[in-house]
Amino acid sequence: MKLNQATDYAFRAVYYLSGLPKGQLVEAKLIAETEKIPLRFLLKILRSLAAAGIVESYRGVSGGYTLAKEPREITMKDVVEAVEGPIELNRCLVDPGECNKNHTAHCPLHQALFSIRQTLNKELASYNFADLGKN
């Protein structure tokens, strides 16, 4: 069970942007070089981050990217969800029809998984990009 590589790159990109003066634009190319991320792939990831309202993009000659909100307002959970969608943990947490036993409500495994997912989400949400740098 792991996060995918795109998510890792997204973490790095957002972390990089968090270290910049508020509102400063940076081209994808520079982020890519600094963070050693394939440029084309990074552009794709940045589009997801933009769609999720984490990053703002500006086109044209001196365009680039900047954070759409304060680093403190962006959590690791936000980034994960922007890139790979919500954490599912298990098919049957998403679609009860997928549960081949089909008695979700009184399935103790389901209950445990539900609670584990919740813990994981909370944990991811507890890290914001302002605090990440410090310590």
Partner DNA sequence: ACAAAGTATACCCAATCGGTACAGTATATA
Partner DNA sequence: TATATACTGTACCGATTGGGTATACTTTGT
Angle between helices 28-35 and 39-51 (to 10 degrees): 120
Six-digit token pair at 70?
A: 């304060």
- Are 109 and 91 in contact by the 8 Å Cβ rule? The answer is no
Interface residue with DNA among 23, 62, 103, 119 (CB under 7 A) is: 62
Q: Which listed range, 55-63, 73-81, 102-110, 113-121, lies at the site for DNA (CB under 7 A)?
A: 55-63
Nearer to its own copies, 66 or 90 (CB): 90
- Residue 63 near DNA by CB under 7 A: yes
Quote the least distance from Cβ 127 to its own copies, whole Å: 5
**Rg for the chain, CA atoms, rounded:** 18
Six-digit token pair at 121?
A: 């989400």
- Residue 101 near DNA by CB under 7 A: no
CA distance 40 to 38: 6
CA distance 130 to 16: 11
Q: Which residues bind its own copies (CB under 8 A)?
A: 1-3, 5, 8, 11-12, 15, 35-37, 76, 80, 84, 87-92, 100-101, 108-109, 112, 115-116, 119-120, 123-124, 127, 132-133, 135
